[in-house]
DNA sequence: ACCAAATGTTACCGATTTGTTACCGTTTCA
DNA sequence: TGAAACGGTAACAAATCGGTAACATTTGGT
């Protein structure tokens, strides 16, 4: 059974999280302050950590940093107070994998945890790096030098597909089938249009692409020269 | 039943691969270091090899090279740690057929294996090598000593056809039918024109061709003296 | 229902690719 | 030896393809 460590000082919240995760079939360990949380993280082998930022004794950022310093690579999902963009970036830089802003729905948090552990178990990546970009699937976010670049859903899915198929030629049909779905009625040129918008967002020189290369008569190929 | 040889030192990964491939209906042989792997590759007649690069005793590149040196042509899929383009190029130059970067999804790897064995059964390869060229169909590119040579769509398709029919005399009609399509209106001389441009891109001495030979009154023949 | 964002489609433009022709040298064979 | 056949290839014309702006439509949130 997979183990989730929840570090949270608000006892009502903690109880809610514990109940829900146990109901969903996880083994839950809890800690109510930073010190206990850090010890639990280092001692037990949790598969995933849910970490509040505001904590007595040692704050969440510090815990995050210390865990990573010990070369432990379990996923960490941070709980942050509402929309402080800078806090989020700080947390991610310290090694967190994802964040959820309070107030949040338990259902959403649970969904992220499940998705995370599934990918982890199947050895799928949840982040891809190229040039100075970090593409984070679970957080559905693209960062360039730590700064977020907003992508529409299609743009995100398209880039995700490109990253998963790095170095391979992809036909417009393959792209349509995967990104748009097998029963789409969209035409081939829709792919081109989204490639253009993606290029405008990620290519330093959209006219001389470094990442998304055109293959005439075929389609496209994502190939960041590393 | 088809046999897959998995050479991988991480026992967890090895177990995962073995289970999945057996579940998918393959006979699986395993080896946990380079020496054992090489022996298994040379002794048993595996239909396909999955080869980790980082291995104790003999590394994956070396195994790849030694297998090819013995003129064994089973497909080799390399597992590379990171998307190091140079590693990948090195591997492909040493005779690997495809690569998957860790971490990868078992599903994806399985899909590639299935695709490979299907093509192999039909006698098709995914990459072709001649002199210091590597022609990679799925990445749709031609490398000369690791450097890309740009080909137009027709040039690419023509070279692909030549490579698939290595050593066979091809009439202009056959070439037109396959590369241009059965309902083309193009004339015979178009073939000549593209042969010329191809020669200019790949032949060291276009006037004294080493690869694409003219067969007077017949057509052409691709024949790299190996 | 309204507005804003996202998505899909179309049309035009420019760059590349492709097909054809013409001219030339080479080979073949009488 | 000379004419005919053939392939090599430069040069030009035509077709094709992808980039993208602009517009239309759909979707989602409030």
Chain C nucleotides close to protein (CB under 7 A) are 5-11, 16-22, 27-28
Q: Which long-range contacts (CB under 8 A, 24 or more apart) does B144-153 make?
A: B144/B202, B146/B86, B146/B89, B146/B93, B149/B201, B149/B202, B151/B198, B151/B201, B152/A216, B152/B197, B153/A216, B153/A217, B153/A218
- Nearest-Cα distance to chain B for A43, in Å, is 22
For B225 and D1, how far is CA from C1' in angstroms? Answer: 38
Return the pLDDT at B84: 46
Chain B interface, best mutation among A123, A222, A225, by max B CB count within 10 A: A123
Helix residue ranges per DSSP H, A24-137: 34-43, 60-69, 85-93, 106-121
Residue A221: count of CB within 10 angstroms of its CB: 21
**Considering only CA atoms, which of B127, B80, B122 is closest in space to residue B104?**
B80
Q: How many CA atoms lie within 13 A of B173 on its CB side?
A: 2
- Cβ–Cβ gap A226/B85 under 8 Å: yes
Residue A44: count of CB within 10 angstroms of its CB: 11
pTM over 0.85: no
**Considering only CA atoms, which of B53, B11, B49, B9 is closest in space to residue B29?**
B49
B104-119 as b/e, with b when 16 or more CB fall inside 10 Å? bebeebbebbeebbee
Please give the Cα distance from B159 to B171 (Å, whole number).
15
Q: Which residue has better confidence, A166 or B81?
A: A166
B177-197: per-residue pLDDT in tens?
A: 999 998 899 999 999 999 999
- Cβ–Cβ gap A124/B102 under 8 Å: no
| φ, ψ dihedrals at A116, nearest 5° | -60, -50
B45-68: per-residue pLDDT in tens?
A: 888 999 988 888 888 888 888 888
Contact (CB, 8 A) for A142 and A130? no
What's the mean per-residue pLDDT of chain A? 86
Q: Is the C-beta of residue B172 closer than 7 Å to nucleic acid chain C?
A: no
Q: Is the pLDDT of residue A225 over 50?
A: yes
Q: Is the C-beta of residue B181 closer than 7 Å to nucleic acid chain C?
A: no
To which H or E segment does residue B6 belong? strand B3-7
| Tokens describing residue A127 | 């982040």
Minimum-distance CB partner of A124 among B86, B103, B153: B103
Locate tokens 């297998």: which residue?
A: B67
pLDDT band per the 50, 70, 90 thresholds, residue B91 = low
Reduced to 3 states, what is the DSSP secondary structure of residue B105? Answer: coil
Q: Is the pLDDT of residue A129 over 80?
A: yes
To which H or E segment does residue A134 belong? strand A133-136
Minimum-distance CB partner of A123 among B103, B139, B140: B103
Helix axes B153-164, B188-202, angle to 10 degrees: 90
- Cβ–Cβ gap B102/A123 under 8 Å: yes
A138-171: per-residue pLDDT in tens?
A: 778 899 988 889 999 999 999 999 998 888 999 9
Residue of A nearest to B137 (CA): A169
User: Over A12-32, what HEC string results?
Assistant: HHHHHHHHHHHHCCCEEEEEC
Binding residues for strand D (Cβ < 7 Å): A 189, 192-193, 195-196, 199-200, 206-207, 214-219; B 189, 192-193, 195-196, 199-200, 206-207, 214, 216-219
Return the pLDDT at B42: 86
- Cβ–Cβ gap B140/A221 under 8 Å: yes
B149-171: per-residue pLDDT in tens?
A: 999 999 999 999 999 999 999 99
Of the ranges A128-132, A183-187, B175-179, which one carries the lowest mean pLDDT score?
A183-187
Mean pLDDT of A218-224: 94
Q: Is the C-beta of residue B123 closer than 7 Å to nucleic acid chain C?
A: no
**Considering only CA atoms, which of B133, B139, B123 is closest in space to residue B198?**
B133
Q: Is the C-beta of residue B193 closer than 7 Å to nucleic acid chain C?
A: yes
A177-192 as b/e, with b when 16 or more CB fall inside 10 Å? ebbbeeeeeeeeebbe
Does residue A113 have a cis bond before it (omega within 30 degrees)?
Answer: no
Mean pLDDT of B1-22: 90
Q: Is the pLDDT of residue B29 over 70?
A: yes
- Cβ–Cβ gap A168/B139 under 8 Å: yes
Residue of A nearest to B99 (CA): A167
Reduced to 3 states, what is the DSSP secondary structure of residue B193? Answer: helix
Return the pLDDT at B94: 64
Residue A218 with chain B: CB contacts under 8 Å:
140, 153
- Nearest-Cα distance to chain B for A214, in Å, is 11
| Tokens describing residue A153 | 């859903």
Reduced to 3 states, what is the DSSP secondary structure of residue B222? Answer: strand
Does residue B103 have a cis bond before it (omega within 30 degrees)?
Answer: yes
Mean pLDDT of A48-75: 87
B199-219: per-residue pLDDT in tens?
A: 999 999 888 999 999 999 999
Please report, for residues B6, B26, B118, B140, the alpha-carbon distance to residue B115 in angstroms, rounded to integers and kept in the order given: 17, 14, 5, 17
Q: Is the pLDDT of residue A213 over 50?
A: yes
Return the pLDDT at B78: 85
């Amino acid at each position: 059974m997979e183990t989730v460590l929840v570090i949270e000082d608000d006892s009502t919240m903690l109880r809610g999280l514990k109940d829900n995760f146990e109901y969903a079939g996880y083994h839950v360990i809890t800690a109510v302050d930073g010190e206990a949380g850090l010890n639990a993280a280092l001692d037990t082998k949790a598969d995933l950590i849910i970490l509040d930022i505001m904590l007595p004794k040692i704050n969440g950022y510090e815990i995050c940093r210390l865990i990573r310093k010990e070369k432990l690579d379990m996923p960490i999902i941070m709980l942050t107070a509402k929309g402080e963009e800078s806090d989020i970036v700080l947390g991610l830089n310290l090694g967190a994998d994802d964040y959820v802003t309070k107030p949040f729905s338990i259902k959403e948090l649970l969904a992220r945890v499940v998705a995370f552990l599934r990918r982890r178990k199947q050895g799928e990546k949840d982040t891809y790096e190229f040039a100075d970009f970090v593409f984070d699937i679970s957080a559905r976010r693209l960062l360039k030098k730590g700064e977020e670049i907003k992508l529409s859903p299609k743009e995100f899915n398209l880039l995700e597909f490109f990253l998963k198929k790095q170095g391979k030629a992809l036909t417009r049909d393959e792209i349509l089938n995967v990104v748009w779905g097998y029963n789409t009625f969209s035409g081939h040129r829709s792919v081109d249009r989204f490639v253009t918008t993606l290029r405008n967002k990620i290519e330093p020189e959209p006219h001389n692409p470094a990442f998304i290369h055109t293959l005439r008569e075929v389609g496209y190929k994502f190939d960041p020269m590393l």
